[in-house]
Amino acid sequence: MNRVRFDRDNTAVLLIDHQVGLFTGVRDIGVDELKHNVVGLAKAAKVLELPIVAVTTAKDSMWGPTIPELAQVLGDDILDRSTVNAWDDERFVDLVKRTGRDHLIIAGLSFEVCASLPAIRARENGFHPVVALDACGTFSRHKREAGIARLITLGIEVSDYATLMVEIMADNADPRAGDIYAALDMPFATLMGQVAAALTS
């Protein structure tokens, strides 16, 4: 497979259904860790100036609003829909196409439905999706394992939010590197920064 790397010019981020009600059922990853990861993904994407398309499903009747921590980063520009698969909503697909990007970093809750189904449809429509697994959550480890197996079988990449962001950053000499690492908020990276600062002071 000839893989074209994800970069600042070809990549958009899709954040799907990170809603208060859905978070109550997450069992495959700690809720606090999941919030940390998806917020870090959104913040780093903004530093990298990647377009973000965010969407909810049935927020007023079923699953509630986007979690406040993420809504604070995204603002009010979040589309609500009724379809199970976001890709079945023409407004969502139009927003994705209007980014002008064909590489898509996708995170959603639940992973095997809200992230995976759009990833599958995106690939069918000529896009290059990757699912940021640790910015997704689901309701059991079995559902997580089945979802991963399905994506791998279909040839869709799975990665983690921080790896994807630093792949796009590409160079630690980038003037925004410090802001990107701060957005990712990885404890070990913070520690290494403190050690480096201490050694050079």
Q: List pLDDT tens digits, range 8-20.
A: 999 999 999 999 9
| pLDDT band at residue 106 under the 50/70/90 scheme | very high
- Condensed to tens digits (0 to 9), the pLDDT of residues 123-143 reads 999 999 999 999 999 999 999
**What are the start-end ranges of the H helices in the chain?**
20-23, 31-47, 68-74, 90-98, 116-124, 141-153, 161-169, 177-184, 187-200
Buried b vs exposed e over 77-97: b needs ≥16 C-beta within 10 Å?
A: ebebbeeebbbebeebbebbe
In a domain, 3, yes or no: no
- Condensed to tens digits (0 to 9), the pLDDT of residues 166-190 reads 999 999 899 999 899 999 997 655 5
Cα separation, 20 vs 74, in Å, equals 15
In a domain, 2, yes or no: no
CA of residue 46 relative to chain centroid, distance: 12
Residue 131's alpha-carbon distances to 14, 49, 158, 178, 201, in angstroms, are: 10, 19, 5, 25, 40
Q: Residue 77 maps to which CATH number?
A: 3.40.50.850
112 is written with which tokens? 């095997």
The active-site residue, picked from 114, 122, 168, 180, is: 114
In a domain, 110, yes or no: yes
- 136 classed as catalytic: no
In a domain, 194, yes or no: yes
In a domain, 117, yes or no: yes
Residue 171's alpha-carbon distances to 119, 168, 176, 181, 194, in angstroms, are: 28, 9, 10, 12, 20
| Structural domain total, the chain | 1
Q: Is the pLDDT of residue 27 over 90?
A: yes
In a domain, 6, yes or no: no
**pTM of the predicted model over 0.85:** yes
As beta bridge partners, residue 66 has 19
In a domain, 31, yes or no: yes
Q: Is the pLDDT of residue 42 over 90?
A: yes
As beta bridge partners, residue 15 has 54, 107
pLDDT at 76: 87
Domain that holds residue 158: 11-200
Q: How many other C-beta atoms are found inside a 10 Å radius of the C-beta of residue 176?
A: 14
In a domain, 181, yes or no: yes
Region of 57 please: left (phi>0), alpha (psi -120 to 50) or beta. Answer: beta
